[in-house]
Amino acid sequence: MHALLKDLIELQEQDSQLLILRAQLAEFPRRFAAMDERLASARGNVEQAKAAQIAANKERRKFELDAELCKDRISKFKGQSSAVKTNEAYRALQHEIEMAEQGLAISEDRLLAEMVAAEEYDRQITTAQSALAVTEAAVRVERDAAERDRDAEEKETAEHEAQRKLFASRIPEDTVDHYTRLARRHHGVALARVRERGNEQSCAMCGVLILPHLFEQLRQSESDDLFHCETCTRVLYYVETPTTDAAPYTSTASAPEENPATESRITSRS
Ligand SMILES: [Zn+2]
């Protein structure tokens, strides 16, 4: 294999790794946002429970005030009852007292209901606060792990970028341009390995059969000419398969390899 093709294969390997890494890195903002959302939701539940309690306390104070007003009226009317001179006035006063007593009974009932409900509000606040504490602890652990993963992947990305730069610098600029255009057209995979199956050879990326004369050229070429797949237009390369170990080819030869990660794992160099 010509040195140029070897460098292109190395370049492709770096790009395939970078494709995977960048896709993984692009997921982190969504992961962090989901964690923030869970925290905000748990905090919102605490705030909601507290707000319900504040509203209930306000209601309670209103009923307390109503009850006080009723008591004041009752004592005022009772004080006036000794001074009334006619039966009619007395009956009217009695009626006022009864009305005020009814009002007092209603206010006291509502007050009692609010006091019972207050315990429920306390319980809801405690529950929401416990849930928040659990969520905060879980998110802290998840965030630490995600940050570690992200840092490791960023480091790995930088390493592959440096490697890529090195391989790209060894390849003529117009060939890199050609490679880049092909890669852009094919989701980042510009190269296609030749796959052997019995006496047939095919493009590992699109599956099309490779004509014998082209295969011979690929196999023997020591020039820096690049050969392209007639169908998918990727740059073809051939890596000789060790004859003693044909197992990987019998198990994977059924379908074209469209996964750049699989395609990029080129270890042998002819
Ligand atoms: Zn092809």
Each residue's pLDDT tens digit, 107-118: 999 999 988 888
170 CA → ligand 1 middle, Å: 26
Q: What is the pLDDT of residues 140-181, one digit of tens each?
A: 999 999 999 999 999 999 999 999 999 999 999 999 999 999
Mean pLDDT along residues 237-266:
53
Read off the tokens for 264.
Answer: 């990029």
DSSP 59-124: HHHHHHHHHHHHHHHHHHHHHHHTT--SHHHHHHHHHHHHHHHHHHHHHHHHHHHHHHHHHHHHHH
Number of domains in the chain: 2
Which of 149, 170, 191 marks a domain boundary? 170
190 CA → ligand 1 middle, Å: 10
Q: Are residues 32 and 155 in the same domain?
A: yes
231 CA → ligand 1 middle, Å: 5
Q: Are residues 53 and 121 in the same domain?
A: yes
Q: Are residues 260 and 247 in the same domain?
A: yes
Q: Are residues 130 and 223 in the same domain?
A: no
160 CA → ligand 1 middle, Å: 26
Read off the tokens for 143.
Answer: 């965030």
- Could you tell me the residue range of the domain that residue 98 belongs to? 13-170
196 CA → ligand 1 middle, Å: 14
Q: Are residues 166 and 184 in the same domain?
A: no
For the whole prediction, is pTM greater than 0.75?
Answer: no
Q: Are residues 213 and 88 in the same domain?
A: no
205 CA → ligand 1 middle, Å: 5
Q: Whole-angstrom Cα distance, residue 49 to residue 45? A: 6
Phi-psi region of 210 (alpha: psi -120 to 50; beta: other; left: phi over 0): beta
Which of 170, 196, 222 marks a domain boundary? 170
Read off the tokens for 104.
Answer: 């007092």
191-197 vs 200-203, strand pairing mode = antiparallel
227 CA → ligand 1 middle, Å: 11
Question: Are 219 and 264 a contacting pair, CB within 8 Å?
Answer: no
Q: Are residues 190 and 245 in the same domain?
A: yes
16 CA → ligand 1 middle, Å: 17
Is residue 133 situated within a structural domain?
yes
CATH number of 250's domain: 1.10.287.1490
Percent of the chain with pLDDT over 70: 89
Which of 116, 149, 170 marks a domain boundary? 170
